[in-house]
Structure formats: C-alpha cells, structure tokens
Amino acid sequence: MIQKNKWAWAWVPILYFTQGLPYVMIVTVSVIMYKKLGISNADIGLYTSWLYLPWVIKPLWSPFLDLIGTKRNWFLLMQLIIALAFLGVGLLLPTNIFFVTTLACFWMAAFASATNDIAADGYYMIGLTQEKQSFFVGVRSTFYKLANVTGQGLLVIMAGFLENHYGDNTKAWSMTMLAAGVLMLVLTISNFFATPKYESSDAIEKQKATGFFEVFKSFFTKPNIGIALAFILFFRLGESQLVKMASPFLLDSKEVGGLAYSTAEVGTIYGTIGVIMLTIGGILGGILISRDGLKKWMFPMVLSLNIPNAFYAFLAITKTSSLAAVITTVVLEQFGYGFAIAGFMVFLIFVAEGMSKTSHYAIATGFMALGMMLPGLVSGYIQEWLGYDGFFVWVVLAAIPSLLLLKYIKYPADYGKKGTTNDD
C-alpha cells in the first residue's frame, strides 16, 4: 500500500491552482475578451453562459472516471487538453471567424476543465487521510482563489497593457491567451512530477463505482429534495446575471450607459481587490458557520449576496464613474459573495449527506452550475432591452425567490458547527 499524504504540500497547491485557472479563464475572462473585441452583450451573455454546461452535466460521466484509468492520468490528460485549447484561442483570434472558432476552443477547454475537477477532487480524497483532507481544505481553497487572481487579475492587466502598447486589441488578447496556454502547460508538467501514483495500489484499484443508476435514484428520493433543488437553482439568480454584465458595464462607453473604464483598470479592480475581498468573505463565513451553525447565518448570507447588487443599480442610474464608488461597490459585492457562498457550499454538503456522498455532491454542484447557466443565457438580452439601469434593478429583484424559499428548506440548525457535522 502506497503511503497516503505523500508530498501533499507539493501537489495540493499546484493541483488546485491548476483547477481554478481554466475555470476563471473560461467563465469570466472570456467575457472581458469578447467585450474588448466588439462582441455584443447579448451574444456574450448567451454564448459564454453555455460554457457552464459541462459543469452542469459532469455528474453524468463522473462514474466512468472510476471505471476507466486512474484519476491522476485523467487530470493530467485534461490539463494538457486545456493548455492546447488556450493556445488554440490565441492562434485563432486574428482570423475572420475568431468568434466561432475560439468558442469551440473554450468549449473543449470547458469539458476538459469539468472532467479535471472530478478527477482532481477524487485524487484528493484518495491521496490524503480524512484528517489531512480537512487540514488541506484551506490550502486548496487559497490556491484556487490565487488562480482567480492570476486569471481575472494579472492576465487581464497584461491584456490591458498590451492593448495600450500595440493599439490592437486582437493582438493583445492573442498574446494573453497564448501566455495562458503556456502557463497551463507548465502547470501540467508540474503536476506530472508533483503528484504520486497512489492509485497503483491493489486496495485502491478495487474501489470501483457500482450502481450507476442507483446513485441518481437515491439522490432524487431524498426528503424535501424538491425544495432544496429549487433553492439551489434560485440562490444565485441575481448574481448569475450580474457576473456576466458587470465587466461590460464597467468597460462600455458612457454613451450606452457604461462607465468607460479601461481593461487594465477592470483587471485590477476585479482580479486583485475583488478577489482579496472574496477570500476574506469566504474565510469569515466559514468561521461563523463553524462557530454557530448554518441556521443562524443563512439569512444574513442570502442578504449579503444580493444587497450589493443595489450599488450597481445606483452606479447605473446616477452614471457615477467615481473610482472610489466603483471600488466600494466591487468590494461589497465580492465580500458579500464570498461570505454567502460559504453558507451555500455547506448547504450543498448537507444535501449530499448519506450514501454516495461524493456522487451526490457532484449532482448538487451540477444544479448549482445550472442555476448559473440558465439566467446567464438571457442576461445580455435583458440588459440590451432594459439598459444598464433597468437591468441592475431587475438583478436586485431577482433576490426575492431565494428569500421566499428560505422559509421552506430544512436542515439541522447546528449543521456545519464544529463537532456536529457527520464526516462519515
């Protein structure tokens, strides 16, 4: 039996940095890139929201990763595909059909990234003992967020610098995406050398998935699962639309209701200050739930996710482009999101409790991704119909369903409190 916890300080940070980078590039940075290349908000919202689909349906193929090959081989292959896809985006941007061809590359990267998530999380559970899994939760979360800083912050700042240097947005973003592809390639090679071959042991090889359809049946027959899934779908109704249109709002010209910020400024505000506040909010949310349980903090967390949206409405209605006002808005939004998502993820863990916990968690996170994808699909059309001011008012009102459902979802009041959660 190969020793567990081997080289954990080497591979856990690299593996989860590699998990976070493609997600932020596909879901967030692609929005900024297409905006700077002249794509309409309606098309940005529609086509980039479809990129959530692999994360929605990943439970459908997750059992096959147990049946075929090892998780280590799976995530190394997927990371290589992601690197090649990003290089493809960089090479195809200067062409006349860049929108279709680069979307195809992002689609390939999205399916590979969702599969990489499954394999990496499975490897994490195989490679570490239960105590070390708990210990390294903070480490993996920190490096995942550092990947967000790198993608949404440093790479966007790089693109903004190159835009100014060359006076050519296409060339700037082509070079930026090539850099992202090279970085992914370096990370893949690093994971190849850092991750031990745990799955070569006979004991682990015998742990194969069984009862494919039983996994889904047992999930959808859980008590109160209908209300729980409705809450999961509606929890991020407002945020799922805001996240698609916030960057276009900051980048658009004042003539169409935007604030006319530069690419580099948006990268700095969102990718550095914003991610730092998101991290602080997430850490605080986790501490408070661990101290008091989920019930006490769920309502404040839903409010913290949605109240900052009113500040975007204020900016759009008053056309305030003050840097202090914009930074304050982003700080509140990102902190509120980090604070709220801590409670939301604990609720997803509760929904997944019982037999087949890992597969059930994958299904729950699939519904979470669906709740992001469907509203995002129409977000650009709604924005173009209502304008930025009307759109952000609508986003504020989108908090109502989750607030109403709070009364009906059921979970133990002290769930998540230290010493009370079932870890079996």
The answer as to whether 424 is a domain residue is: no
Residues 339, 385 share a domain: yes
In a domain, 418, yes or no: no
Q: Concatenated DSSP letters for 288-309?
A: HHHHH-HHHHHHHHHHHHHTTH
Are both 323 and 200 inside the same structural domain?
no
**Can you give the CATH number for the domain in which 95 is found?**
1.20.1250.20
Q: Is the dihedral of CA 277, 16, 63, 77 positive or negative?
A: positive
Q: Are residues 41 and 170 in the same domain?
A: yes
Cβ-proximal residues to 126 (8 Å cutoff; 6+ apart), any chain = 71, 198, 199, 204
DSSP three-state, residue 166? helix
Last residue of a domain, one of 179, 209, 239: 209
| Containing structural domain, residue 323 | 211-413
| Residue-level pLDDT at 77 | 97
The predicted structure's pLDDT at residue 307:
95
* pLDDT at 371 (0 to 100): 92
Which of 149, 181, 209 terminates a domain? The answer is 209
Last residue of a domain, one of 209, 239, 265: 209
Instruction: Report the C-alpha gap between 131 and 276 in whole angstroms.
Output: 28
Q: Tell whether 141 and 289 lie within a shared domain.
A: no
Per the listing, tokens 């039983």 go with 214
Return the pLDDT at 98.
Answer: 96
Q: Is 124 helix (H, G, I), strand (E, B) or coil?
A: helix
Q: Does residue 351 share a domain with residue 237? A: yes
- Location of structure tokens 């989860």: 16
Q: Is the dihedral of CA 25, 239, 153, 38 positive or negative?
A: positive
Asked whether residue 275 is assigned to any structural domain, the reply reads yes
Has residue 420 been placed in a domain? no
Are 145 and 92 in the same domain?
yes
Residues 371 and 388 in one domain: yes
DSSP-derived secondary structure letter, 421: S
CA 313, CA 388: separation in Å to the nearest integer?
8
Residue 3 lies in a domain: no
Same-domain status, 108 and 96: yes
Give Cα 182 distance to the centre of its chain.
22
Token reading at 358: 């890992």
- 141 and 89, same domain (yes or no): yes
Determine, yes or no, domain membership for 79. yes
Same-domain check for residues 55 and 180: yes
Same domain, 166 and 254: no
Q: Which pLDDT value is given to residue 133? A: 59
**Within-domain flag for 405:** yes
Please state, in angstroms and rounded to a whole number, the distance separating the CA atoms of residues 360 and 373: 20
Structurally, the chain folds into a number of domains equal to 2
pLDDT of residue 418: 65
Q: How far apart are CA 364 and CA 218, in angstroms?
A: 13
**Claim to verify: residue 320 and residue 388 sit in the same structural domain:** yes
Residue 391 included in any domain: yes
Taking the chain (424 residues) in runs of 10, the rounded mean pLDDT of each run is 71 92 94 94 90 88 75 94 98 96 97 91 75 62 81 91 95 97 97 84 50 78 93 94 91 92 87 80 81 89 95 95 92 88 82 72 85 90 94 96 93 74 44
